[in-house]
Amino acid sequence: MDGNPRGPAHPRSASWAPLGDPEIDAVLEAEFERQMTTLQLIASENFASPAVMAATGSVLTNKYSEGYPRRRYYGGNANADTAEQLAIDRVKALFGAEHANVQPHSGSQANAAVYLALLDTGDTVMGMSLDQGGHLTHGSPVNVSGRLYNFVSYGLTRSDERIDYDAMAGLAREHRPKLIVAGATAYSRRIDPVPFREVCDEIGAVFMFDAAHIAGLIVGGVHINPVPYADIVTFTTHKTMRGPRGGTILCTQEYAKRIDSAVFPGSQGGPLDHAVAAKAVGFAEAARPEFAQYQARIVENAAALADALGSQGFRLVSGGTDNHLLLIDLRTFDADLTGKVAQEALDAAGVTLNRNSIPDDPRSPFVTSGLRMGTPSVTTQGMGPAEMARIAEFTSRVLRAPDDEDVIATVRAEIAELCAAFPPYDR
C-alpha cells in the first residue's frame, strides 16, 4: 500500500500522496486546482483544516461501532469510544448543552432523527418555508419530512423581509404543531429564539433550532446561542463550523434517550468513526480564541461584501446581512437576468456560488431571480474587506456582460491572481 496508512499526506504540504488510481487522482488534482484558483462563495462550504481532513482519512474508517461509547454491539471499540466521548464532551462544552449525539451522518440525518424521536407520521410541525429561506428538511414536499409529516410554513414580512415572528406565533396558535423548527439555509439576518420559545411554551410544543448554517457564528459568540432556549439544536459540522461533513444533535436530558435511539438504531447503522474523530478535532479547533476572531471576520466580510454589491447596483434581500451570507435580488440590476444564467457566467469566470430563490420569486426554483453568496471560505483563506470589494466588482463586471467571453476570461485571470495570494492550502 502506498502513502501514509494513518491518513493522507498533510494537505498543506506539496507532497499529497497519489492514490495510485490514475482516474481518481486526476479528479483530486483537478478539484485541488479548482479550489486553489477560483472563489468559493457557496455559503454552506468551507475549507476544513488539514487536521480535520487527516482524521477523516484515518484508520477509523475501518471500524464498526454500532451503539454508543461503552455500550457497543461489536468488540474492539476502546479507541472509537475515546474518540466519540471526546467529540461529545467537546461539543457539549462549546455550546453549554446537556446532551450531544455526534453520530448523524449529515444535517439531514440529524433532522430526520429528531422527527423520528418526537413525531408520529401525520403530526403537525412548523418550519420556515423553503422559498423564503427554510431548508428542504423543514417540510418540503420532495423531502421525507414533507412526505411523512404535516408541515405548516411561516415566512418573512413583505415590508422588511425578515422572519415574521407575529405571523409565526399566530400560525402556531391556529395549527397547534407538536414541534416548531427555527433555522434557515438562505436567510441573512439574526434568528431570535425567544419568540419561538414563548409560543412553544404557550401551546405546549417542542422547540427545535436547526443551526446548520450558523453553528460557527454561535460558537464564536457572534450570534445568540439557542441552546438555553431550544429543547433540541441540530447543526452541520462542515459549514461555518469548518469541521468534517456531518451532523450533530444537542438536547436537554429530557430528550436524550429518545434522540439517541432515533439516531441508532432508529435511522442509522454504524457511525462514521473517522468522521466522529474529525468532529472532535473540529470542536477542539472551535474552542480556540482564534475561532471567535475568525467568526467575527466572516460577518465583517459579509457586511463589506453587501456594501460593495450595493454600490455596484445590486439589491439585497432584507437590505443587507448580519451573518455569513447574503441574497442578491437580480431583478433591479437586470430584469432579464436569471439566477441560472448569472450562476453559469460567474462559474465560468471563477466566482463559485449558487442561484437561489428570493422571496416571492416569479421564476421556478430551477431558474430563480437570485444568487446566494457566503464568506466562510474566503475568510478562511485570509481575505478581508478590500478583497470583498474586488469580489463585488468582479461579480458586477461579469453580470453586466454575461455572454462576453473576453470579460469572463479577463476576470478569471484576475481571480486566479487574487486566489494565489490567499492559498487555502500549501502546494
Residues that bind ligand PLP (CB under 6 A): 44, 106-108, 111, 135, 137, 183-185, 210, 212-213, 236, 247
Per annotation, catalytic residue among 64, 397, 400, 404: 64
> With respect to ligand PLP, which residue has the nearer C-beta, 77 or 295?
295
Per annotation, catalytic residue among 161, 210, 273, 361: 210
> With respect to ligand PLP, which residue has the nearer C-beta, 184 or 304?
184
**Catalytic residue at 288?**
no
**Catalytic residue at 166?**
no
Q: How far is the CB of 138 from ligand PLP (least distance, A)?
A: 7
Residue nearest to ligand PLP (CB): 107
> With respect to ligand PLP, which residue has the nearer C-beta, 149 or 394?
149
Helix (H) / strand (E) containing 325? strand 325-329
Q: How far is the CB of 280 from ligand PLP (least distance, A)?
A: 18
Per residue in 54-74, is it b (16+ CB within 10 Å) or e — as a string?
Answer: bbbbbebeebbbbbbbeebee
What is the Cα Rg of the chain in Å?
A: 22
Q: Are the C-beta atoms of residues 142 and 150 closer than 8 Å to each other?
A: no
> With respect to ligand PLP, which residue has the nearer C-beta, 38 or 44?
44
Q: How far is the CB of 221 from ligand PLP (least distance, A)?
A: 20
Q: How far is the CB of 384 from ligand PLP (least distance, A)?
A: 25
Per annotation, catalytic residue among 72, 90, 197, 239: 239
Per annotation, catalytic residue among 38, 56, 185, 236: 236
Q: How far is the CB of 45 from ligand PLP (least distance, A)?
A: 10
Beta-carbon contacts of residue 19 (< 8 Å; ≥ 6 apart)? 2, 3, 25, 28
Q: Decide: helix, strand or coil at residue 417.
A: helix
> With respect to ligand PLP, which residue has the nearer C-beta, 86 or 212?
212
418: left (phi over 0), alpha (psi -120 to 50) or beta: alpha
**Catalytic residue at 406?**
no
Supply 77's cell numbers: 471499540
Q: Decide: helix, strand or coil at residue 317.
A: helix
Q: Are the C-beta atoms of residues 11 and 392 closer than 8 Å to each other?
A: no
Supply 191's cell numbers: 434568528
> With respect to ligand PLP, which residue has the nearer C-beta, 350 or 359?
359
Per annotation, catalytic residue among 25, 66, 393, 404: 66
DSSP symbols for 238-280: SSTT-S-S-EEEEE-HHHHHHHHHHHTTTT-SS--HHHHHHHH
Q: How far is the CB of 295 from ligand PLP (least distance, A)?
A: 17
> Within 132-247, where are the H helices?
144-148, 165-175, 193-203, 215-219
**Catalytic residue at 340?**
no
**Catalytic residue at 332?**
no
Hey, which residues are catalytic here? 64, 66, 210, 236, 239, 245
